[in-house]
Amino acid sequence: MILNGQAHAGAILMRLARIQNTVRDLHGLPQTLARSGQFELKLAVTKKEISKAQKLRYRVFFEEGHAIPDAYTRLRRRDICRFDSICDHLIVVDHASSKRKVVGCYRLLRQEVAQANGGFYSAQEFDIAPLLARHSGKRFLELGRSCVAAEYRGKRVLELLWRGLWIYASHHACDVMIGCASLPGSDANLHQGALAFLRDHAAAPDEWRASALPARRANVIAETQVEARRTLAALPPLVKGYLRVGAYFGDGAVIDRQFGTTDVLVIVPMDRIDPRYVDHFSAGALAA
């Protein structure tokens, strides 16, 4: 009886510890949004879960990519950003791994939270204020810091993340998703073809237009003729994914020196998303 009582008390203490470590209010969403085999799609609610997402970002951006860590980042081996504390973090956990690894993540920032905390991250690179003003009756959701561990870069994990985006945006009645997408490398002229393709095939109309900040805008030699099929095939998977669902792209590009990338602005009005994807992700949301 005493042992059972001790076990019960221990379980209560562990539960209290988890509650005290919770740093996120999910505003009515369940913590687990979907499951697929060994993978769980969820919102990070504890410091430990957010730390795991930051460690994954460090591996992808700094160890695999061209991002340059400062001394603090190198010491902590985590991609820590001041926006992390106000954002929600969508993660995919592999339960087949011994330490329940976080193998995919997205960072989400709702407009009302951004406005209460100094604005959107993408406003550091693109002049989005006129875009927000033109659509003052709509609710914007910023996507950022998306990555998937190298050994998990198949359709399954990315599709789970996108299902999570749909569930989250639908729950919060978001009308538009925006964010910076990256082309690898900080020489924008190496991406003449890609930038010309986005300009010619997916440029935002005036209603949705937003331009790179003049002080940050990359000087790119304009390319007039692009072989569309070959250029599309060479685009990063995430950019191709945005194109498939019906995204617009902003005017111009920005060099992110710290991350060694050429950034473009993605604008996805929710009502533009291809109905095939709406049906697919809505079915997943209902199942979740």
CB 134 within 8 A of CB 207: yes
Q: How confident is the model at residue 283 (pLDDT cuts 50, 70, 90)?
A: low
Chain mean pLDDT for the chain:
89
Span 254-266, pLDDT tens digits: 999 999 999 999 9
pLDDT of residue 288: 41
Domain ranges of the chain: 24-287
Give the CA count within 13 Å in the CB-facing half-sphere of 96: 7
The domain defined by 24-287 folds into Aminopeptidase (3.40.630)
- In the block, which residue shows the tokens 């919770």? 22
Q: Which residues contact 42 (CB under 8 A, 6 or more apart)?
A: 31, 32, 33, 90, 91, 92, 93
276 three-state secondary structure: helix
Paired residues of 28 in beta bridges = none
pLDDT at 13 over 60: no
Give the mean pLDDT of 86-113.
96
Residue 10 has pLDDT above 90, yes or no: no
Q: Does residue 188 have a pLDDT over 70?
A: yes
Q: How confident is the model at residue 221 (pLDDT cuts 50, 70, 90)?
A: confident
Decide if pLDDT at 14 tops 50. Answer: no
Mean of pLDDT values over 29-48: 95
Burial of 191-223, coded b for 16+ CB within 10 Å and e otherwise, reads bbbbbbbbbeebebeeebbbbbeeebbbebeeb
Main-chain phi, psi angles of 43, to 5 degrees: -100, 130
Calculate the dihedral angle through the C-alpha atoms of 121, 124, 126, 131, rounding to the nearest 10 degrees. Answer: 60
Residue 200 has pLDDT above 50, yes or no: yes
pLDDT of residue 25: 85
Distance CA 265, CA 239 (A): 10
What is the pLDDT, as a whole number, of residue 278? 74
% of the chain exceeding 90 in pLDDT: 78
CA distance 156 to 148: 11
Q: Kindly state the tokens that stand for 79.
A: 């991609």
* Dist CA 178 CA 122 (whole Å): 8
Pair 249, 194: CB distance under 8 Å = no
Token code pair at residue 198: 């986005």
Q: How confident is the model at residue 16 (pLDDT cuts 50, 70, 90)?
A: very low
Residue 105 main-chain phi, psi, to 5 deg: -155, 160
Residue 275 is predicted with a pLDDT of: 80
Mean pLDDT of 49-61: 97
Asked if residue 139 lies in contact with residue 172, where contact means CB atoms within 8 angstroms, the answer is yes
Please give the DSSP secondary-structure letter assigned to residue 132: H
Q: Is the pLDDT of residue 1 over 50?
A: no
- Give me the pLDDT at residue 3, please: 46
Whose CA is closest to 210, among 287, 267, 141? 267
